[in-house]
Structure 1
Amino acid sequence: MRHAAWLLLARYGRRWGNRLRMMEPADTYERLLLETLRHTPLAAARRSLPASGLVVAQSMLLGRFDRPGEGLSGGLSVLLDSVGEALASTAGVAGVLTVVTACRPDLEDDRVLLRRRSRGHWVLRLPVDSDRPVGPQDVGEHREALAWWATTLMSALGRRLDVLHVRYADDGSLALAEAARRVGAGLVFTATPDPHRQMSERLDHPDADPDQVRLDLHRVYLADRLADRADRVVGIAGRGGTAELVRHFPQLSRRYGTGRLSAPPEGVAPYEPPPDAAKRCRLLIDRIGGAAGPAEESRRTVLLSVGRLHPVKQQDVLVRAWIESGCHRESVLVLVGGSTRGPDPQESLIRDRIRAATLGNPEARERLLLLPALSNADVRTLERVLADSGHRLRARYVCPSAKEEFGLAVLEAMEAGMVVAGPERGGVPHYLDDGVNGLLLDTSTSYALGQGLLRLLALDDETAETMARRAQHLVRSRYSAAAMAQALAGHYADVASRGRREAP
């Protein structure tokens, strides 16, 4: 109410707005809010944007952009970083803004709201009046404030924002959609089969949790509103292309026709080894080798899985499957993900479940390594080292998620030359052909996943090498960040040239 009163005073003009100079901020958020109301924000930084070319924005409002693998930060942060860099180098694009959020502790550490990440790529931080990063269930409380901040800061860029691209069906994306309308920018929305698919599956169970049903219904509402408001809707292709998506969004078939919904392929950035990658990876390999123990009669197999610790990623199910199937006797399981500085409740839940799964099984505990999140460069370096057949450890990559809409981490492991196994549910089957360039897993239960792990471990080296080589060629030839940026730039230019469609 205090902040709403300040905004109301500011709208009445100088006479009442001058009273804001008498206000005393209680924290960093209020200090930034008052400074923004008193002065033109971003004045020092807005001259950075070129005068010609498209200015586009992409959003990641949940999780910390620079910490993939921690909390709510996953593959999207890696994707937006690489695509943002590639877009900035694409003809016709003047600048790219990656829009993120910053809670009060983040703002206390760094009050800068617009910072250049590289040539043509900036990160725009929207302040959030919260003592912790917002999650999907509480971002709705900040929806109007986020819309105000986004409108205010985007209007202060010194250049009109041409297109804003949102990817999640959540309240934060709807706030940005409203901001796009207010500043006259076009809106692009990436739609996925969830939450409609999840809602349909939940309703098949008579004992469905009413609270979860309510949340799913709200997300369905948000997804439909975003699809209606967007000037362009693009999809993520699954096993059947975009057919499942159109089935859940019948309005898209009326708008685009059958088979015409675009699904730009997501892409992997070129690998750039960090300066001290060899030293850091040697330490990791030594730890993994220590868990593997002596070579005995054959090389140990390392099962690697990378991702944020979250129930949908199912690392706990993977550990149970690994033990129940007996795979722990012939392999080492390495899980990379999660924060050690301040794990969120979801991370703590998964860690507790993993700990419970290994109780009473010292052999499994010795061969399980749970490593905190690594930088993307370190992960990709580690995958390359493990893919090298020149050491005593053979390696396989496992993605145990309940579903992956696309699976950037899977693509990166394929690009590194590892043989991979990923979930059959979601978008992974669009590029992973079972038995040809990897394996598809039934991840619905620990038993089914365990059978998939047995099949993965049973691959002989020659077959695994053939699969890995095919997978690597596919990713390097078809799934690059540059190709994705080029496809998106075409959509952005088309939306900007047509002008914003009036939202219903």
Structure 2
Amino acid sequence: PRTGGRPSLPSSGLVVAQSMLMGRFDRPGEGLSGGLSVLLDSVGEALASTDGIAGVLTVVTACRPDLEADRVLLRRRSPGHWILRLPVDTDRPAGPQDIGEHREALAWWATTLLSALGRPLDVLHVRYADDGSLALAEAARRIGAGLVFTATPDPHRRMSELLDRPDADPDHVRLDLHRVFLADRLVARADRVMGIAGRGGTAELLHHFPQLARGHGTRRLSAPPEGVAPYEPPPDAAKRCGLLLDRIAGKAGPAEGPRRTVLLSVGRLHPVKQQDVLVRAWIEAGCHRESVLVLVGGSTRAPDRQESLTRARIHAATLGHPEARENLLLLPALSNADVRSLERTLADPVHRFRARYVCASAKEEFGLAVLEAMEAGMVVAGPERGGVPHYLDDGVNGLLLDTSSPHALGRGLRRLLELDDEAAEAMARRARRLVRTEYSASAMAQALAGHYADVVSRGRKAQSGPSPEPFGPAPV
């Protein structure tokens, strides 16, 4: 591998890094790649143009096939924003269950490459409670960079639920217990802890991290709003979107007469996203007779195990229901630009689609895809569990769904379909106004830049000498 040279960084301003170590950065919706890659791409670009920021690095991983195809480790993404790839000795992108085997190697690579920038790294921001994030936390300690960690109620929430279930899978308990250990270590290491606000703000997070509720020294918990980048249509948006619309229109019916409602759902194919539960609920509630369900996500080239499992469950749910199979459209993952173009077109009354957006996830800590659909002008329905209720007010700018079972979800789908067009349009207008005024990538970048500057001004933790226990106790 080669670095491709050092980034050209101004002499003033902060150099910051953000991480996404699971999945491939340029393939949102495939495998482990979801909304985080879209978020970090837009926020990285916005941060790079924010006062006080000299440059931004988004740290990702590259497995052996990725490195064989492209040996450059550092490449400019946009002015002031670079992608830094950390090699991982695997034949596929590392997942949460095996990245722990590469923790020390990741820490070494991150320390080595981040030390070779030509300017010291000021702040490193990690967002997931996994072994990769702990490896980067160790690299930050070694090079003297401040550490920011975005904590979420999971895995503590899931651990609490699993302990109440006598039939809990021991492997799931073990994995979540290990993630609890990682999250607590990251909170202890971090110079600044941030949260993602839910229905009660940060109350649930404080419940699971009592050290934050006690003040955590001089560090205060904050939850800056995450944001959506401005929409920029691709040059051939009309042509690309037209091909998709033809397929949807073929199932929805001719524009001249009454059309079936289009239910759109976008996300990586994964059990936590519950596309299979959505299909079952759609059929059990009889919604398949009056609507077209369009699922966007997953790879058709090289699906991973979770994608294949989810597709098999979707197929099983439609067995014996030929009408449902006829009204179900599965599309592979699309680029973010294509998704947002499709959403805008479906929301545009000129095209005469009666369209709704639905997210059936078991929970969404934030739900960037939901926000993007709101920004596009679609009326949306999202899970009541997690962070979506922080910005989606049921019956005001969208609907909240109980996604705990197919039966409960089916009730929500019926409510969504029975929503009259006038009420739906009013909800969509309020949703769009909220996102455009309060949830922009530039506003998020401004808030983050302020936190990063404060971390640096308060001084970093003492970095002298090696840690006697650099990674804490052995993994559970």
Task: Give the TM-score normalised by the residue count of structure 1.
Answer: 0.90
* Identity of matched residues, %: 85
Name the counterpart of 1:303: 263
Q: What SS does the corresponding residue of 1:252 show, helix, strand or coil?
A: helix
In 1: Cα distance, 2:164 partner to 2:290 partner: 39
Name the counterpart of 1:325: 285
In 1: Cα distance, 2:376 partner to 2:35 partner: 16
Q: Deviations over 1:69-123 (max 9, x none)?
A: 0000000000000000000000010000000000000000000000000100000
Name the counterpart of 2:65: 105
- Residue of 65, 68, 72 corresponding to 2:25: 65
Q: CA deviation at 1:343?
A: 0.2
- Residue of 429, 439, 442 corresponding to 2:399: 439
Amino acid of the structure 1 residue aligned with 2:51: A
Q: CA deviation at 1:297?
A: 5.9
Amino acid of the structure 1 residue aligned with 2:221: L
In 2: Cα distance, 1:331 partner to 1:151 partner: 53
Name the counterpart of 1:285: 245
Amino acid of the structure 2 residue aligned with 1:171: D
CA contact (8 A) 2:278 2:406 kept: yes
Amino acid of the structure 1 residue aligned with 2:188: D
Q: Which runs of 5+ in 1 are unaligned?
A: 1-31, 33-40
Name the counterpart of 2:100: 140
CA contact (8 A) 1:243 1:259 kept: no
Please state if 1:381 is matched with 2:306: no
Name the counterpart of 2:474: none
Q: CA deviation at 1:256?
A: 4.9
Aligned residues: 464
Name the counterpart of 1:393: 353
CA contact (8 A) 1:162 1:186 kept: yes
CA contact (8 A) 1:443 1:449 kept: yes
Amino acid of the structure 1 residue aligned with 2:24: R
Name the counterpart of 2:161: 201
CA RMSD of aligned residues (A): 1.5
Name the counterpart of 2:111: 151
Name the counterpart of 2:274: 314
Q: CA deviation at 1:260?
A: 5.1
Task: Give the TM-score normalised by the residue count of structure 2.
Answer: 0.95
Please state if 1:231 is matched with 2:191: yes
Q: What SS does the corresponding residue of 1:381 show, helix, strand or coil?
A: helix
Q: What SS does the corresponding residue of 1:101 show, helix, strand or coil?
A: strand
In 2: Cα distance, 1:117 partner to 1:452 partner: 41
Name the counterpart of 1:88: 48
- Residue of 115, 126, 131 corresponding to 1:171: 131
Assess, with a 3 A threshold, how the Cα gap between structure 1 residues 445 and 79 changes in structure 2: closer, same or farther.
same
Assess, with a 3 A threshold, how the Cα gap between structure 1 residues 133 and 47 changes in structure 2: closer, same or farther.
closer
Q: Which runs of 5+ in 2 are unaligned?
A: 468-476
Name the counterpart of 2:471: none
Assess, with a 3 A threshold, how the Cα gap between structure 1 residues 237 and 104 changes in structure 2: closer, same or farther.
same
Structure exhibiting the larger radius of gyration computed from Cα positions: 1
CA contact (8 A) 1:70 1:309 kept: yes
Name the counterpart of 1:250: 210
In 2: Cα distance, 1:365 partner to 1:172 partner: 40
In 2: Cα distance, 1:64 partner to 1:371 partner: 19
Q: CA deviation at 1:482?
A: 0.3
Amino acid of the structure 1 residue aligned with 2:168: A
Assess, with a 3 A threshold, how the Cα gap between structure 1 residues 155 and 258 changes in structure 2: closer, same or farther.
closer
Name the counterpart of 2:472: none
Name the counterpart of 1:27: none
Q: What SS does the corresponding residue of 1:99 show, helix, strand or coil?
A: strand
Q: What SS does the corresponding residue of 2:230 show, helix, strand or coil?
A: coil
In 2: Cα distance, 1:211 partner to 1:317 partner: 23
Q: What SS does the corresponding residue of 2:103 show, helix, strand or coil?
A: helix
Q: CA deviation at 1:261?
A: 1.8
In 2: Cα distance, 1:395 partner to 1:73 partner: 26
Amino acid of the structure 2 residue aligned with 1:500: R
